[in-house]
Structure 1
Amino acid sequence: MTLSLTKPRAGSEFWAEFRGHPAALTAAFVVAVIIVLAILAPLVAPQDPYDLASLVLRDARRPPGYVGMGGYTHILGTDSQGRDLFSAILYGLRISLQMGLVAGGIAFAIGALVGSTAAYVGGRFEAFVMRLIDLQLSFPAILMAFVVAALLGQGKSQLIVALTFSQYAYFVRTAHGAAAAERRKDYVEAALSIPMSGWFVVTRHILPNALPPLIVVATVQVASAISLEATLSFLGVGLPPTEPSLGMLISGGFQYLLSGRYWISIYPGAALIVLIMAINIVGDQVRDQLNPRLKK
């Protein structure tokens, strides 16, 4: 039998309470719209940014509302490569969500398993693992991601590895704290008195009760991963220039800001800010509902 830190709550009750907060509900709607647009980008976007044959250099750096050589209106203008900026932003949001969810998911799995295992085993193994985690957390995540990305080179797979490495320590620390509290409870001691494998005790008894704080950390780290991906791409160590990521779009238009071509950087930057803020607002509300002590 497993015991929860808080009273189990039905999904309908959780959703009813969530709907009572307009800011969180609006943010969730924004995130849902962005996800749908990112998934349907090949159908919604008027131009495929990956199709080099559709790009016309003569259309580069054109203002919003410009009618290009392709015969359609660039409602947000074009970037320095002649790509339709609206289409590039849709594909950029797709890349950002992909990087954030994949890297966050891998970091979640690794961190949850390592942290709960360290709490279960204890002793020197626990001390060794947590000292390594403390050492990594003493460095900024952007620095760790930058070093790994610079060593591995540009590319989606390399960037996912860099983002995962820079974030898994947060999950290890959270999982260890929650699992250590569960490890000392009577139901875990009762399970240990029965001939059960340590893997079963960790995955069946300890880890499930450590999930609420991990879910909260996951929402924050997904937004952080999206921000890190944009930062690394802006600095030139993330995705290659052929990828229309939001960081690359901002970087590509940064040099034209003073010349008045603001749209190349401003619109992708605004899309990035809206996405990160919406995810963080949803994460804050989920945190408040999963932790009753934070409620008024």
Structure 2
Amino acid sequence: MRDTLLGRFLEEFFRNKVATGAAMVVLLIVLTAIVAPLVTPQDPYDLTSLVLRDARRAPGYVGTGGYTHWLGTDSQGRDLLSAIIYGLRISLQMGVIAGGIAFVIGAVVGCSAAYIGGRFESLAMRIIDLQLSFPAILLAFVIAALLGQGRYQLIMALIFAQYAYFARTAHGAASAERQKDYVEAALSIPLSPWRVVLKHILPNSLPPLIVVATVQVASAISLEATLSFLGVGLPPTEPSLGMLIANGFQYLLSGRYWISIYPGVALILFIVSLNLVGDQIRDQLNPRLRR
């Protein structure tokens, strides 16, 4: 039955040519990011391989290392194609790790509030609503500025900025599940509250959470790039896409457009593709949204 449902889901998904193309782009980016050390001509982390006289060279320039910089070089002499691939790798890591942890925290908080009810539910949801009233970028910026630059600090900032979306979605889905007969039957056995939440309510609340997760991974990547661009995300030594765009921003007026434009195009392509895939999954999981 699962194979049949999965087959039908994939068949319907691939009927949408736009979503199929977006999924192929996402898959290509993910695979390229995974095998980045094997496909890039230069390791942008290796400072000893950088030559300053190769800095800010136009696309197609043959560098000191003997290989062609197809997308040019940045202000530090790094091969821009290599830096973009490694930047996509970092963005993917940040998005998946931060989104995954925020998913777990938000799902547990939302489902627990729906199950326990009473004052705990009211207090938890008021805190969630208060947090959702602020833009995610503002919350992430404040937390990142307080914690300082670094991967772990940035992940914590992204988690804090995003878990509320999962909590609100999980609470809405779990509140509907809480009233169903199978939950009442599980309580009459009786089972422990945590077992009811984790084995009965949470699994049946996953479809809307999966849709939110797809969107929030793209949002986390966008937030990471924005924070790095503003100087409170990853340190300058790590080729984040946001950092690459920031490094080349000052050279736009001098004609060296490639330093910022190419990383920006890669970032936009990745985020738009993820959003298109998420929209198609949402339409399939919620029949009322189908055209």
TM-score (norm 2): 0.98
2-structure distance, mates of 1:278, 1:46:
26
- Counterpart in 2 of 1:57? 52
- Counterpart in 2 of 1:158? 153
**1:232 pairs with 2:227:** yes
- Counterpart in 2 of 1:123? 118
**1:173 pairs with 2:173:** no
- Counterpart of 1:106 (choices 101, 105, 124) is 101
Letter in structure 2 aligned against 1:247: G
Letter in structure 2 aligned against 1:216: V
Cα deviation 1:189-216 (Å, max 9, x = unaligned): 1111111100111011110111000000
- Counterpart in 2 of 1:251? 246
- Counterpart in 2 of 1:277? 272
Letter in structure 2 aligned against 1:268: P
- Report runs of 4+ in structure 1 exceeding 6 Å deviation: none
- Counterpart in 2 of 1:292? 287
- Counterpart in 2 of 1:41? 36
The percentage of aligned residue pairs carrying the same residue is: 76
Letter in structure 2 aligned against 1:124: R
Q: Cα distance, 1:295 vs. partner?
A: 1.2
Cα deviation 1:110-162 (Å, max 9, x = unaligned): 00011000000000000000000011001000000000000110000000000
Q: Cα distance, 1:54 vs. partner?
A: 0.6
Aligned residues between the structures: 290
2-structure distance, mates of 1:287, 1:12:
17
Q: Cα distance, 1:241 vs. partner?
A: 0.1
- Counterpart in 2 of 1:4? none
Structure 1: stretches of 5+ with no match in the other structure: 1-6
Cα deviation 1:211-258 (Å, max 9, x = unaligned): 000000000000000000000000000000000000000000000000
Letter in structure 2 aligned against 1:231: T
Letter in structure 1 aligned against 2:285: L
Letter in structure 1 aligned against 2:238: E
Letter in structure 2 aligned against 1:195: P
Q: Cα distance, 1:9 vs. partner?
A: 6.6
- Counterpart in 2 of 1:260? 255
Letter in structure 2 aligned against 1:43: L
Q: Cα distance, 1:8 vs. partner?
A: 11
TM-score (norm 1): 0.97
Structure 2: stretches of 5+ with no match in the other structure: none
- Counterpart of 1:134 (choices 121, 129, 134) is 129
- Counterpart of 1:29 (choices 24, 33, 40) is 24
Letter in structure 2 aligned against 1:70: G
- Counterpart of 1:15 (choices 5, 10, 16) is 10
Task: State the SS of the aligned residue for 2:233.
Answer: coil
- Counterpart of 1:74 (choices 61, 69, 72) is 69
| RMSD across aligned positions (CA) | 1.1
- Counterpart of 1:200 (choices 184, 195, 202) is 195
- Counterpart in 2 of 1:84? 79
Task: State the SS of the aligned residue for 2:253.
Answer: coil
Letter in structure 1 aligned against 2:140: A
Q: Cα distance, 1:94 vs. partner?
A: 0.1
Cα deviation 1:46-91 (Å, max 9, x = unaligned): 0000111110000000000001111111000000000000000000
Letter in structure 2 aligned against 1:121: I
Distance 1:193 1:143, change over 3 A: same
